[in-house]
Amino acid sequence: MQEFSSSSSAPGGKTRIAYEEILNPQQYAAVSTTAPVALVIAGPGSGKTRILIHRVAWLLEKGVPQDSILLLTFTNKAAREMMNRVYELSGISADELQGGTFHSFGRRILQPHAELLGYGRDFLILDRSDARELITACLREANIETRGKVFPKPDVLLEMFSESLNLSMSLEEVIEKRHSTFWEKTDQVEEVYRAYTRRKFEQNRMDFDDLLSLPLRLFKEHPDILEYYQKRFSYILVDEYQDTNHTQNEFLELLAARSRGLMVVGDDAQSIYSWRGACFQNILEFTKRHPNARTYTVETNYRSSDPILKVANESISYNEKQFPKNLRAVSESIRKPTLISCGDGYAQAEWIAQEVRRLNLEGIPLREMGILYRAHHHAMELQMELRKSGIPFRISSGIRFFEQAHIKDVASILRLTYSPCDEVAFKRIIRKLPGVGVKSADRLWNAFAGRQWPESLSAGLDRVTPKIPTKARELWNIFCRTLKKVDPVFIPLSVPEMIDELLKGFGEDWMMAEYENAQTRLEEVEQLKIYSRQFEGLEDFLSEMALQTNMDGEQDGTEDEYADRLILSSIHQAKGLEYDAVFVMMLCEGMFPSFRSMEKSENLEEERRLFYVAVTRARKHLYLIYPRRRSLGGNFERQLPSRFIQELSPELFEIETHADTFIPYGDLRHSGTKRFLHTEEADEDDPF
């Protein structure tokens, strides 16, 4: 690659913008680099977007033609905003500058060259709904019924196909490593994929993943096309580089092979999306692939106070695979983050609600406070407490715990066991069967209820069985066997035992087939089972469920995002956001980090990066909270504090202990790999 210079690539001379005055030294070094390849490691709150905007303005002021600059981002909105800010900064219109997502840029490449791949130039893009319908047609063609017990639904198939492309794995490998439930169905899944690919081609249609894979194929099969785009885009800038997948990076490496100025900007310490295909190695090994690359580390943080950054810096230092960095604060504060130990999950929820009210009275708007957690079910008790306390809140994912479809499904089954005359619950369950729509559900309900309510759930099931459509019989028989096991008329079970029977009978296989994020959903049902242990009987449990939700299906939240509501969010959803006050809750071993992450060191390091992201969302106030136990209906399970807490120096925090036994934080740090908190009530050989 040729080095950028005024003589080789652009006119020299002074710039209109005083870059050295408005940028800090690290930002300026990155913006003004003449290196042909540059890796910018920009820590959280360090002005990553600012660097990209000023870099584009710098290139334009140096005379680089607009149409030779390409800016790749992860949202089209981000690209548009950057272009607007470039104009505001430089006064130079960037109308001809190419910017957008990898997928939108891929579409622009395909448009004039589609015929080389056998497509027409007037190809159409399938949205997810369209893709789902096309896969359904392929399933019918192959005479495969997906609403049975063991075959993945169209959404799950789409996830498999996407993973195969984005992870550079064969479909067989994807099924073996990520969807092993369907290993015996590999041949059929591959048959559906071939049919889906053929139908897309025949109908001149492409799905979202094709917008990456087909341009890559075009480049490989037509070197002249690749050369054209290599020469056209002399300067390529990539935002959020740590989030790129295998396909995106391969595409980028080909495109930038002749670039005069390739700049990738990201933060390895914020690489947290491996579960959706992001490849951490892309950024970690960038300088290995490009030995001539210059690395610029930007560490000045304009968001968080110094005490908060000390927590972030010490935590991430335990990761072995990283670019070392040390965030430095601009904002001065003597307020340390607070470490809070609470009795159990409910005490944790109560404490958070009280502290939120206190901060709100001090003048911090609710919308400037973020409650962050590893998984949505971690906030179940908190959602209940906030509702009870009258504190308005919004969940970033849009779905409250008790309003999720799979939770409502379990509730419907339990309602039907308690009251066989529950028409709403019956119809919700029966419509899960293949070939059963609204009219069929009405007919089957009439058979179930007859002219009088069935004397038991089992009696009603026997009534309706002869009326079940033939193609639904296999799944119905599994339903029936399981539902009869939880019929309280014949087999009195506790609520947790009932939920357990449902999971063992058909729930696990059904969820794996029904939902692309099945493992998360199963964990949430397990959490529901734990929650149910505090109730004396099914009636009490269902009554509380009714207070928490309604039965009208899973749907996105429509609340005004600008209303003054407390924000509840998974940490993944919160990346890129910031709040005056951040509460990171449920910091227990097995919950954060999750048990699954502890099996491999690379997974554990990603969990630590997730903790780092959570901590660095906070501007002024940071609270790290963990319960010492989880309530299990009169009993409790002891919880070990997260290793991400145990690793940190006690002097970094203000320590508070609430609701029962005092736990001295000084006992928290021990030599060796395991460190545990100790209670005064613990036995000598009790590690807690």
Tell me the catalytic residues. 48-49, 239-240, 270, 617
- In whole angstroms, what is the distance from residue 99 CA to residue 474 CA? 52
- In whole angstroms, what is the distance from residue 132 CA to residue 249 CA? 27
Cα dihedral: 343, 347, 351, 353 (round 10) = 160
* Residue 581 vs residues 66, 367, 395, 467, 623: alpha-carbon distances, Å: 41, 10, 16, 58, 8
Nearest to 434 by CA among 401, 463, 473, 396: 473
- In whole angstroms, what is the distance from residue 81 CA to residue 254 CA? 27
| Coil, strand or helix at 294 | strand
E strands, 306-459, where? 328-331, 338-342, 369-373, 393-395
Bridge partner residues of 322 (DSSP) = none
| Coil, strand or helix at 442 | helix
- In whole angstroms, what is the distance from residue 329 CA to residue 351 CA? 29
- In whole angstroms, what is the distance from residue 237 CA to residue 235 CA? 7
With residue 418 as reference, give the H or E element that holds it: helix 405-418
Verify cis geometry, omega within 30 degrees of 0, for the bond prior to 593: yes
Residue type, 631: S
For residue 613, count CB atoms less than 10 angstroms from its CB and return exposed for 0-12, middle for 13-18, buried for 19 or more: buried
Phi then psi for residue 38, to 5 deg, are: -135, 135
Residue 383 CB partners (closer than 8 Å, separation 6+) = 393, 395, 400, 401, 402, 548, 568
E strands, 274-319, where? 294-298, 300-305
| Coil, strand or helix at 218 | helix
The rounded radius of gyration (Å) of the Cα atoms in the chain is 28
For the beta carbon of residue 558, count every other beta carbon within 10 angstroms. Answer: 7
Q: In the numeric block, which tokens belong to residue 262?
A: 């390739």
